[in-house]
């Protein structure tokens, strides 16, 4: 069977031919020993065919791209998911656990807002996120101007009392918010969250598939970053002081 | 169904989960022991005591590996993981060694052709170094997060703990005299250095760390609302203080035996002194 032509064509490139000649001359002079591995590697590298050169160049470009992406990542300010086009905090009004109207933007002016859509019967993500936030906010180095806004996606079961007692298990400062189904869907859409939908019941209890992200807004009302599940405490502890001061640095 | 306890994403519940691998491992420990004891012609003195010790050691192994402690330690709570470690290395391992008769240990080691290797590894410096290296490695965040996330890794970690637990106790309570240290003060120093000093370092890291070290316990669904940091601090305290009763209890026992031995030696020396013998005759 005949081998493809490009396998038989060696040393066709101009550089490769020069290197080949250079190698032979140097070998003849004795400056490169005939058995030298360095010499053979050197020659091997520069005696590649055009196609090999193309592959080599492509790999180099790819590596450079990867390195630049890595650098870009290391230049990120936040450890959360940074948003290319920061969005403004939606101007919405919901009901808090005391039954009072709560304006998400106006009632939290000058604070870092961590907005999360969940429900009290959530078996996994919600309690983990809330416990993580409780632990991080208890740290002495954590900024004081942080408010956690927990917006329920299950208004039927999450009555104000249920919501309050659930949040008190984590931190009595966490704000629980509810509203009509329509208002809550509108709120999820306004934040760019996936709208929660009921799932098949597990052990007789129905659950909701909902967005697992915590939407973070700096005191300048802009959302620069989001935190999916799982986010480690070290990431929160890194980002919260930055978010808290973000307005100052921007001004 | 899973073979061995490993990380789960489900919320913790007290509903029973079966781990056949754990039962199989416990049976592989107990059944050959009972068969060889049954086959042995003529009972040794202290046979019942040894049997009880071995069965208690196997019980500790089973409790540490199976649901609920095994699953809590592999998936949810760092302090449960630490209780497991303590049970394997400080309870199961010494009880299994104490319960093994000399003839059985000799036969077993000859069968698997590990007698010479066991003699090399049971040298106090080697055993102490291997145990502490294992302790530091298996408590590193990388090892815990990687190994606990799958059942084979989790099994390997538990197996390594038991194996190194057996190794570290060999110079003190091995059934074979060639493994045991002869000097009482040497035994005391060994116990203190090999099992009392190094564990305090990772324990200190866990107790005083500002953040949870292990991702699997930090991001696990919470059990009874125990926070990840509190859980880790508890784990550190267990590692630091949990071994004290066993290690210092063993040191006290060794000191008592040492003093008994010294008393016997003095009596023997006195009875050999001809002048004293003459005096006592008169």
Chain B residues touching residue A132 (CB < 8 angstroms): 218-219, 228
- Beta-sheet pairing, A208-209 with A101-103: unpaired
What tokens does A130 get? 């809330």
The better pLDDT of the pair B14, B280 is held by B14
pLDDT band at A12 (very low <50, low <70, confident <90, very high): very low
- The pLDDT tens digits for A74-104 are 556 899 999 988 999 999 999 999 999 999 9
State the Cα–Cα distance between residues A90 and A115, nearest whole angstrom: 11
Return the pLDDT at A240. Answer: 96
Which residues fall within 8 angstroms of residue B190, CB to CB, at 6 or more apart? B124, B128, B171, B172, B181
What tokens does A81 get? 């998911």
Return the pLDDT at A124. Answer: 87
CB half-sphere exposure, B225, CA atoms < 13 A: 8
Return the pLDDT at B277. Answer: 53
Subunit contact B218:A124, Cβ cutoff 8 A: no
What is the rounded average pLDDT of the residues B124-131? 96
Return the pLDDT at B267. Answer: 81
The better pLDDT of the pair A250, B89 is held by B89
CA distance B164 to chain A (A): 32
Q: Is B16 on the interface with A (CB under 8 A)?
A: no
Return the pLDDT at B273. Answer: 59
pLDDT at A19 over 60: no
What tokens does A202 get? 């597990």
Instruction: Provide the percentage of residues in chain B whose pLDDT is more than 70.
Output: 94
Q: Is A33 on the interface with B (CB under 8 A)?
A: no
- Beta-sheet pairing, A175-178 with A146-152: parallel
Return the pLDDT at B153. Answer: 96
> Would you identify the CATH topology of the domain A86-250?
Glutaredoxin (3.40.30)
- The pLDDT tens digits for B175-208 are 999 999 999 999 999 999 999 898 888 999 999 9
**Chain A: residue whose CA lies nearest to B8:** A124
Contact A227, A236 (CB under 8 A): yes
The better pLDDT of the pair B11, B166 is held by B166
**Chain A: residue whose CA lies nearest to B221:** A124
Q: What is the mean pLDDT of chain A?
A: 79
Closest partner CB to A237 (pick from B211, B222, B227): B211
Contact B179, B190 (CB under 8 A): no
Which residues fall within 8 angstroms of residue B108, CB to CB, at 6 or more apart? none
pLDDT band at A247 (very low <50, low <70, confident <90, very high): low
pLDDT at A33 over 60: no
Return the pLDDT at A90. Answer: 94
CA distance B82 to chain A (A): 21
Determine which of B14, B211, B212, B213 to mutate to test the interface with A (most A C-beta atoms within 10 Å). Answer: B211
Q: Is A120 on the interface with B (CB under 8 A)?
A: no
Return the pLDDT at A66. Answer: 63
Chain B residues touching residue A124 (CB < 8 angstroms): 9-11, 221
Whether residue B107 is preceded by a cis peptide bond, meaning omega within 30 degrees of 0, is no
Return the pLDDT at B134. Answer: 96
pLDDT band at B40 (very low <50, low <70, confident <90, very high): confident
Return the pLDDT at A191. Answer: 96
Return the pLDDT at A75. Answer: 58
Q: Which of A85, A73, A77, A72 is nearest to A223 (CA)?
A: A85
CA distance B217 to chain A (A): 11
Which of A2-6, A35-39, A67-71 has the highest average model confidence (pLDDT)?
A67-71
The better pLDDT of the pair B141, A200 is held by B141
Return the pLDDT at A56. Answer: 67
What is the rounded average pLDDT of the residues B110-118? 91
Q: Is A228 on the interface with B (CB under 8 A)?
A: no
pLDDT band at A245 (very low <50, low <70, confident <90, very high): confident
For B6, the 3-state DSSP assignment is: coil
CA distance B221 to chain A (A): 5
Q: What b/e readout covers A95-125, taking b as 16+ CB neighbours within 10 angstroms?
A: bbbeeeebebeebbeebbbbbbbbbbebebb
pLDDT band at B39 (very low <50, low <70, confident <90, very high): confident
What is the rounded average pLDDT of the residues B71-91? 97
Interface A:B, Cβ pairs < 8 A:
43
Q: Is A124 on the interface with B (CB under 8 A)?
A: yes
State the Cα–Cα distance between residues A74 and A61, nearest whole angstrom: 20
Contact A110, B207 (CB under 8 A): no
Return the pLDDT at A11. Answer: 42
Packing angle between helix B184-191 and helix B151-173, nearest 10 degrees?
Answer: 150
The better pLDDT of the pair A51, A160 is held by A160
Q: Where in chain A is the domain with CATH 3.40.30.10?
A: 86-250
Tracing tokens 């026992």 back to the chain, one arrives at B253
Return the pLDDT at B44. Answer: 76
Subunit contact A232:B215, Cβ cutoff 8 A: yes
Q: Is A234 on the interface with B (CB under 8 A)?
A: yes
For B9-72, the DSSP string reads -SPP--S----HHHHHHHHHHHHHHHHHHHHSSSPPTTHHHHHHHHHHHHHHHHHHHSTTHHHI
For A48, the 3-state DSSP assignment is: coil
Q: Is B249 on the interface with A (CB under 8 A)?
A: no
State the Cα–Cα distance between residues A231 and A212, nearest whole angstrom: 10
- The pLDDT tens digits for B44-64 are 778 899 999 999 999 999 999
Chain A residues touching residue B210 (CB < 8 angstroms): 139, 237
pLDDT band at A10 (very low <50, low <70, confident <90, very high): very low
Q: Classify residue A205 by its DSSP letter.
A: B
pLDDT at B280 over 80: no
Q: What is the dihedral of CA B102, B108, B109, B112, to 10 degrees?
A: 180
The better pLDDT of the pair A172, A30 is held by A172
- The pLDDT tens digits for A140-190 are 999 999 999 999 999 999 999 999 999 999 999 999 999 999 999 999 999
Domain spans, chain B: 20-281
pLDDT band at B278 (very low <50, low <70, confident <90, very high): low
Instruction: Provide the percentage of residues in chain B whose pLDDT is more than 90.
Output: 79
- The pLDDT tens digits for A180-235 are 999 999 999 999 999 999 887 766 778 899 999 999 999 999 999 999 999 999 99
Return the pLDDT at B225. Answer: 83
């Amino acid at each position: 069977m005949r081998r493809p032509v490009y396998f038989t064509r060696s040393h066709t490139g101009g550089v490769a031919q020069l290197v080949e000649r250079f190698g032979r001359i140097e070998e003849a002079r004795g400056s490169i020993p005939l058995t030298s591995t360095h010499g053979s590697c050197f020659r091997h590298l520069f005696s590649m065919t055009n196609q090999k050169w193309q592959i080599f160049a492509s790999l180099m470009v790819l590596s450079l791209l990867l390195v630049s992406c890595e650098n870009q990542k290391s230049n990120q300010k936040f450890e959360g998911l940074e948003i290319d086009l920061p969005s403004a905090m939606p101007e919405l009004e919901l009901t808090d656990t005391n039954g009072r109207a709560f304006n998400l933007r106006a009632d939290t002016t000058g604070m870092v807002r961590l907005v999360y859509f969940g429900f009290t019967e959530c078996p996994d993500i919600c309690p983990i996120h809330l416990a993580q936030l409780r632990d991080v906010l208890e740290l002495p180095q954590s900024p004081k101007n942080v408010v956690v806004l927990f917006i329920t996606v299950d208004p039927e079961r999450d009555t104000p009392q249920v919501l309050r007692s659930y949040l008190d298990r984590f931190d009595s400062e966490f704000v629980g918010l509810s509203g009509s189904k329509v208002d809550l869907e509108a709120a999820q859409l306004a934040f760019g969250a996936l709208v929660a939908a009921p799932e098949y019941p597990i052990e007789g209890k129905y659950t909701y598939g909902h967005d697992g992200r915590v939407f973070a807004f700096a005191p300048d009302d802009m959302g620069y970053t989001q935190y999916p599940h799982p986010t480690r405490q070290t990431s929160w502890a890194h980002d919260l002081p930055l978010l808290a001061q973000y307005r100052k640095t921007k001004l | 169904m899973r073979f061995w306890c490993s990380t789960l994403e489900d919320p913790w519940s007290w509903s029973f989960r079966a781990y056949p691998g754990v039962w199989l491992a416990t049976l592989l420990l107990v059944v050959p022991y009972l068969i060889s004891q049954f086959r042995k012609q003529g009972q040794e003195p202290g046979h019942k005591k040894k049997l009880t010790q071995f069965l208690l050691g196997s019980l500790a192994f089973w409790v540490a590996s199976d649901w609920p402690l095994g699953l809590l330690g592999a998936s949810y709570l760092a302090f449960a993981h630490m209780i497991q470690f303590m049970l394997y290395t400080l309870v199961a391992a010494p009880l299994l060694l104490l319960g093994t008769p000399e003839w059985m240990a000799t036969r077993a080691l000859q069968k698997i052709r590990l007698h010479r290797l066991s003699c090399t590894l049971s040298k106090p410096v080697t055993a102490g170094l291997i145990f502490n290296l294992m302790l530091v490695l298996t408590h590193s965040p990388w090892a815990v997060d990687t190994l606990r996330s799958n059942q084979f890794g989790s099994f390997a970690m538990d197996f390594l703990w038991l194996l190194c637990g057996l190794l570290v106790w060999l110079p003190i309570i091995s059934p074979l005299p060639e493994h045991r240290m002869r000097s009482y003060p040497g035994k005391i120093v060994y116990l203190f250095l090999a099992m009392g000093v190094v564990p305090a370092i990772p324990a200190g890291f866990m107790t005083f760390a500002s953040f949870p070290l292990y991702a699997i316990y930090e991001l696990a669904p919470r059990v009874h609302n125990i926070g990840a940091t509190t859980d880790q601090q508890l784990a550190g305290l267990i590692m630091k203080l949990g071994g004290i009763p066993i290690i210092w209890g063993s040191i006290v026992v060794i000191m008592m035996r040492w003093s008994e031995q010294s008393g016997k030696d003095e009596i023997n020396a006195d009875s050999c002194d001809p002048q004293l013998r003459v005096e006592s005759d008169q």
